């Protein structure tokens, strides 16, 4: 790959013919139409999120004469350049000089570019940028792009994959899963965590359909001209979840619904009964892990580990141990409730506290609480034998 350092291009030149698409949330062109600001493999413009602090910081740096860092262009041919790195900064500059956002001046006054003093405007427009113009093969450039870290906001995994496998499939995928105009995104946000803009919804959809092999799937479908399978699978999973669980709980967000769908979608569920089960577990103070409730129910309410049921605390154990041991000594029997009714060598054995474990007299799953009244101490052997039943 070859690279030439350009030092004379000004902000004014870069911003000539600047076009920003509100619809797609990205800067499109600059440098009198010669520069494509957002090639396919670039991410959406994110400097405007976060209350716009990042885009304001770009302008403030320029006004103070601070460098805004190296910018990289890819020379496609003599008449066409693409931004490889610097899209966010260039879009900030372009948006500012076209009055798309305000900054605050040294007196805290809000200012649009159009309303600024002449010498400040001049300072911005005449600032020269440091630009590397690179020329290389697609794979060289993509390999290199994979290794850079853009201006303090690292690429997410999916943004990186979008760069590496850029093409028709990625374009269509982004149109569906990271498009702020897609009204489904709001609905999906109940089940999917992360940000659609940072490609995390696309990542989730790909993860589900590929059973975790995103890169492989993207490489196989790279030049597809439709994303039918991806869309259909995603829709199926979301519909299945929303039918089985009629109430939307915040702990549902970010669960591995793709895997749960694969494991359980062939079973029949009664949404009314399910809803009742969910509500019961939500109001159960012994359930520590609410995120586990959904998989627990889907699996037939068997795997209690998913719920992380609250266990007896040390004070409860010690208190029950003391009472139980005093009583046992008086009766000359074992302080393990099960040893004492057996006829072996342990029937009158007194265990130390650390040799015993706490057990629910009435099981949690049958409504037994995790308090002193429902606690008994068993020797480890008996407790474990009981736990396996
Ligand atoms: Zn025992």
**Encoding tokens for residue 120?**
């400040």
Beta pairing, strands 19-21 & 26-30: antiparallel
Tell me how far the alpha carbon of residue 115 is from its chain's centroid: 40
Distance 55 CA to ligand 1 centre (A): 68
The whole model's pTM is what?
A: 0.61
pLDDT at position 389, please? 46
Q: The tokens of 96 are what?
A: 């500012």
Query: Which residues are in the CB-under-5-Å shell of ion ligand 1?
Result: 336, 338-339, 379, 382
Q: Cβ–Cβ contacts within 10 Å for residue 234, how many?
A: 25
DSSP for 280-344? HHHT-TTB--GGGHHHHHHTTS--GGGG-BPPPPHHHHHHHHHHHHHHHHHHTS-SSTTGGGS-S
pLDDT, position 151: 44
Cα of 369 vs centre of ligand 1, distance in Å, is 22
The answer to whether the beta carbons of residues 218 and 193 sit under 8 Å apart is no
CA separation for the pair 380, 117 (Å, rounded): 81
CA 332 to ligand 1 centroid distance, Å: 15
Extract the tokens encoding 48: 């405007």
The count of residues in the chain is: 389
pLDDT given for residue 150 in this prediction: 46
Distance 348 CA to ligand 1 centre (A): 10
CA of 349 to the centre of ligand 1 (A): 9
CA distance 323 to 342: 21
- The one-digit pLDDT tens for each residue of the chain (389 residues) are 677 888 889 999 999 999 888 777 777 889 988 999 887 666 677 777 777 888 999 999 999 888 888 888 888 888 899 888 888 899 999 999 999 999 988 788 889 999 999 999 999 999 999 888 888 776 777 666 666 654 445 667 788 788 778 789 999 999 999 987 888 999 999 999 998 888 999 999 999 999 988 988 998 999 999 999 999 999 999 999 999 999 999 999 999 999 999 999 999 999 999 999 999 999 988 899 999 999 999 999 988 889 988 888 899 999 999 999 999 999 999 999 999 998 788 999 999 999 999 988 888 877 777 788 889 999 999 988 876 44
Going from the C-alpha of 51 to that of each of 46, 103, 107, 147, 253, the distances in angstroms are 10, 12, 20, 28, 24
SS3 381: helix
């Amino acid at each position: 790959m070859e690279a030439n350092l350009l030092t004379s291009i000004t902000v004014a030149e870069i911003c000539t013919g600047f076009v920003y698409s509100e619809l797609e949330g990205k800067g499109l062109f600059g440098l009198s139409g010669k520069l494509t600001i957002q090639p396919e493999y670039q991410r959406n413009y994110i400097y405007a999120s976060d209350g716009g602090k990042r885009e304001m910081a770009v302008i403030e740096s320029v006004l103070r004469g601070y460098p805004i860092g190296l910018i990289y262009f890819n020379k496609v041919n003599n008449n066409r350049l693409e931004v490889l790195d610097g899209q966010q900064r260039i879009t900030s500059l372009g948006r500012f000089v076209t009055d798309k956002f305000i900054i605050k001046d040294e007196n805290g006054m809000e200012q649009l570019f159009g309303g600024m003093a002449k010498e400040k405007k001049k300072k911005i427009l005449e600032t020269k940028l440091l630009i590397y113009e690179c020329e290389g093969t697609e794979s060289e450039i993509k390999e290199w792009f994979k290794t850079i870290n853009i201006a303090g906001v690292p690429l997410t995994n999916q943004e990186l994959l979008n760069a590496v496998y850029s093409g028709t499939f990625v374009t269509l995928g982004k149109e569906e899963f990271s498009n702020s105009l897609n009204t489904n995104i709001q609905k999906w946000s109940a089940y999917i965590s992360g940000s659609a803009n940072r490609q995390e919804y696309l990542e989730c959809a790909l993860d589900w359909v590929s059973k975790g092999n995103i890169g492989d799937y993207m490489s196989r479908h790279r030049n597809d001209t439709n994303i039918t399978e991806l869309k259909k699978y995603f829709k199926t999973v979301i519909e299945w979840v929303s039918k089985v669980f009629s109430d939307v709980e915040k702990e549902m967000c970010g669960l591995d619904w793709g895997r749960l769908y694969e494991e359980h979608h062939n079973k029949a569920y009664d949404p009314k009964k399910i809803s009742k089960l969910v509500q019961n577990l939500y109001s159960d103070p012994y359930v520590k892990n609410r995120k586990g409730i959904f998989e627990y129910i889907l699996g037939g309410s068997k795997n209690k580990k998913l719920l992380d049921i609250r266990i007896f605390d040390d004070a409860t154990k010690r208190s029950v141990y003391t009472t139980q041991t005093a009583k046992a000594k008086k009766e000359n029997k074992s302080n393990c409730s099960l040893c004492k009714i057996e006829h072996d060598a342990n029937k009158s054995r007194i265990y130390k506290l650390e040799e015993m474990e706490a057990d629910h007299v009435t099981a949690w799953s049958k409504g037994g609480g995790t308090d002193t009244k429902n606690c008994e101490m068993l020797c480890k052997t008996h407790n474990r034998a009981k736990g396996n039943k």
